[in-house]
Amino acid sequence: DSGVTQTPKHLITATGQRVTLRCSPRSGDLSVYWYQQSLDQGLQFLIQYYNGEERAKGNILERFSAQQFPDLHSELNLSSLELGDSALYFCASSLWGKGKETQYFGPGTRLLVL
């Protein structure tokens, strides 16, 4: 157990809908990262937050957005869902700065868009 929690574990929804994925980082970690992993694919970095502020952005679609709250949990919002958005979504957390780069991953949320 990495100490990172994600809810829900599974999500089934229809095209055009909107969903919210939730992540709670390890105790003490200020940085949260979101990744998308499609079937048999690598880890696609979406976005990073540090202490409530957006820190880095990857290949995140405009239909997707995220935020980190004062209690440091984070939410990833996916809207106008398409079939191709079906994937595993991982959250990871870390401390931040030199020597503190190790990311610890949550169990993931499996999203199926029908």
Residues in touch with other proteins (CB under 8 A):
2, 33, 42-43, 45, 48, 55-56, 88, 90, 97-98, 101-108
Report the nearest approach of other proteins to the CB of residue 43 (Å): 5
Q: Residue 22 or residue 105: which is nearer to other proteins going by CB?
A: 105
Q: Residue 45 or residue 86: which is nearer to other proteins going by CB?
A: 45
Q: Residue 14 or residue 53: which is nearer to other proteins going by CB?
A: 53
Report the nearest approach of other proteins to the CB of residue 99 (Å): 8
Report the nearest approach of other proteins to the CB of residue 63 (Å): 22
User: From CA 9, how far away is CA 11, in angstroms rounded?
Assistant: 7
Q: Residue 43 or residue 61: which is nearer to other proteins going by CB?
A: 43
Instruction: Concatenate the DSSP letters of all residues of the chain into one string.
Output: --S-EEE-SEEEE-TT--EEEEEEPPTT--EEEEEEE-TT---EEEEEEETTEEEEE-S--TTEEEEE-TTS-EEEEE-S--GGG-EEEEEEEE--STT----EE---EEEEE-
